[in-house]
Amino acid sequence: MIAKSEWRPLPKNLTIGESSIEGLGLIATEAIPKGTDLGISHVYDARFPNSYIRLPLGGFVNHHEIPNTKAIIAQRDPELGELEHLRLVTLQPIEAGEEITVKYIINHLDNPRWEFEYEVSQ
């Protein structure tokens, strides 16, 4: 049980804005260094379609063939404890105003575990 949480739907350095790729996207509000953990994008729960609950970070990140973030599988969160989930981590420095992107595949569910749809790094 979480006694106190500082959880926010998005990190303080991101906002939702108009995407140059499609609809709305995640936009950096300040410079973000390479290797920054942006947080949880999806939480594993077998009861849901595709076995993952998509959080705002996962719901607004757009696909790009040359992404500036990568999705990683994690089993533990410092605040939430044991929890299978996907996190987004920056691959390069990101400038204020730049859109956050990840490389993923849509509508290809040979295995309904979303971490296989993202190019997940370990």
Q: Tens-of-pLDDT digits for all 122 residues of the chain? A: 556 666 678 999 999 999 999 899 999 999 999 999 999 999 999 898 778 888 999 989 998 989 999 998 899 888 888 989 999 999 999 999 999 999 876 544 444 454 445 555 44
For residue 114, give the 3-state DSSP assignment.
helix
* C-alpha to C-alpha distances, 30 to 4, 98, 114, nearest whole angstrom: 27, 9, 29
CA 16 – CA 61 distance, rounded (Å): 9
Residue 95's pLDDT is 97
Report pLDDT for 5: 66
